[in-house]
Amino acid sequence: MECRHQAWILFFCFFLISGCGSMRTDEIPDGTESAEPVSSAADLQGKIRDQCFQVELEGQGEVTFVSCAPDQSAKETEDAVFWLERDGEIQYQFPYVMEGNCRPQQSFVQVREVCFQDYDEDENKDVMIVVEYRPLTGTEDQENITEVRLYRNRPDRREFALDTDRMDMLNRNQWNHSVDEVMEHMGEAEQRLLLEYLTDLTEEAGGQYDF
């Protein structure tokens, strides 16, 4: 049983290191989109004009990425939504971060940045979004907070999955103010995730392993 545990751990380490490698923004591969805002994406229906882009994504083809601000007149904690559009029709809506798409004691301020980049190096462009929020609790001079969202492209399923583990580590350490900062700390975030996993595994095994 101990040999099987060790073999599984080695396989996991190899997968995480090889499949989840990090890269800095000064080493962006040719597949990265340098998107330009779509001039026709007017502020109708809450669309954020300067955060809507024409982009070609594996599994989706050529589409318009749309950022849409929430209607906060009814609920101040409602969050932004994001989708892919073609010929005026929604092709895919990105998963919410929070259940019901509402923030816990936070109010949406702006979408700071959107980037289409293969951050996990699987040859498929992923989507990274940096969003800014205003705390609804605390003092009036409390600073706004930022959050990064990572959506991993799954072209075989024609969907994008929230990369919650990396997101949580990056946001927990506040490595989330810009895409540059996210990519700068991606490798460290992955290493910490691996260490946390191995520590948990050791505790479950009764301290049999020492990493």
Q: What is the CA radius of gyration of the chain?
A: 19
pLDDT for 30:
37
With cut-offs at 50, 70 and 90, classify the pLDDT of residue 207: low
- For residue 209, the model assigns a pLDDT of 55
* Mean pLDDT computed over 76-101: 96
* Mean pLDDT value across residues 98-125: 96
Rounded Cα–Cα distance for residues 1 and 5 (Å): 6
Mean predicted confidence (pLDDT) in 105-110 = 96
- pLDDT confidence tier of residue 106, bands split at 50, 70 and 90: very high
How would you classify residue 135: left for phi > 0, otherwise alpha for psi between -120 and 50, otherwise beta? beta
Q: Which residues contact 170 (CB under 8 A, 6 or more apart)?
A: 148, 150, 176, 182, 185, 186, 189
pLDDT tens digits, residue range 171-194?
999 999 999 999 999 999 999 999
Q: Say what the pTM is.
A: 0.76
pLDDT tens, residue by residue, 116-161: 999 999 999 999 999 999 999 877 789 999 999 999 999 999 999 9
Mean pLDDT of 91-95: 97
**Ramachandran region of residue 35, left (φ > 0), alpha (ψ -120 to 50) or beta?**
beta
What are the C-alpha distances in Å from 196 to residues 28, 46, 160, 211?
28, 40, 25, 11
User: Which residue, 74, 86, 26, is CA-closest to 46?
Assistant: 74
**Exposure pattern of 10-33 as b/e (b: 16+ CB <10 Å)?**
eeeeeeeeeebebbebeebeeeeb
Q: What digits encode the pLDDT tens for the residues 7-58? A: 444 444 444 434 433 333 333 333 334 344 443 333 446 999 999 999 999 9
How many residues would you count in the chain? 211
For residue 196, give the nearest of 52, 11, 12 by alpha carbon.
12
pLDDT at 44: 45
Name the CA dihedral angle for 113, 159, 68, 123, rounded to a multiple of 10 degrees: 20
The whole-number average pLDDT for the span 103-112 is 96
**Full strand arrangement of the beta sheet holding 145-154:** 106-117, 126-135, 145-154, 159-162
